[in-house]
Each structure stands twice: as structure tokens, then as C-alpha cells.
Amino acid sequence: MTKILHTEQAPAAIGPYVQGVDLGSMVLTSGQIPVNPLTGDVAEDIAAQTRQSLDNVKAVVEASGLCVADIVKMTVFVKDLNDFGAVNEVYGTFFDEHNAPYPARSCVEVARLPKDVKIEIEAIAVRK
């Protein structure tokens, strides 16, 4: 049975979607934009935006009872691929901090993102 995931630790959906779904063996998050769930604010710089998107992904994954180490695939959407290095620095640190292996990943540049943010990240996690 598919369960809808909901947490106050990640921003509410800004459209007709849910924060994530739990299929039992697998959890899929919606793309997480870097909105601070407590304040609604979006930081200016790409490093802070990357960290916030990752924290939001983590919150949705944890709402399922899984953790960062259970993430097997991430997709990263960036507005400007010139930010690739800055994104990677924060991204690598995030997984290191959680003693989690780096998952598979795709990273693509897109024309525009909701709320005109610089990054959006989605995840797939597996329940072993």
C-alpha cells in the first residue's frame, strides 16, 4: 500500500503533489527546493540552498523511518551548472556527515525552477 509522507521538517508542497511517497520497499521524495520549513525563507547563495534542499530531502526520507544511508539515487536540478563545484562540496559533506555512502546521482541544468531557486533535489531510498 502506498503511504503519503508528511513532515513539518520539510516545506509543504507548493502545488498538487505530496512531499513523498512510501511504497513499502522504496521511498520517493518530491523534488525539494531550498525553502526553510520554519521560516519560509530561501537563502541567496548556492551553498546554503544546496544544504537546505538536502536537509529537506533528509526530513522527508526520515518521515518514512528510513535515513540518509538508505538513499540509493538522487537527482539534482541546478539553474546554473557553473555552480557544480559548490554543489558538490556541500553534497559530499552532507553524506560524509551522516556516515552514508554516496548514492547514484544525476545532475542536470534546467532553465528555471519553482520560486526561481537555484537548486532542487529529489531522492529514492530503499527499505532493506
Among 22, 27, 31, 64, binds ligand DHA (CB under 6 A): 31
What whole-number distance in Å separates Cα of residue 50 and Cα of residue 30?
Answer: 15
With CB under 6 A as the rule, give the number of residues binding ligand DHA: 7
Active-site annotation holder among 107, 110, 111, 112? 107
Among 1, 15, 85, 99, binds ligand DHA (CB under 6 A): 15
CA 103 to each of CA 8, 125, 126: distance values in angstroms, whole numbers, following the listed order: 25, 9, 11
17 lies in the binding site for ligand DHA (CB under 6 A)? yes
What whole-number distance in Å separates Cα of residue 84 and Cα of residue 81?
Answer: 5
Nearest to 118 by CA among 126, 109, 127: 109
16 lies in the binding site for ligand DHA (CB under 6 A)? no
Q: Point out which residues bind ligand DHA (CB under 6 A).
A: 14-15, 17, 30-31, 33, 114
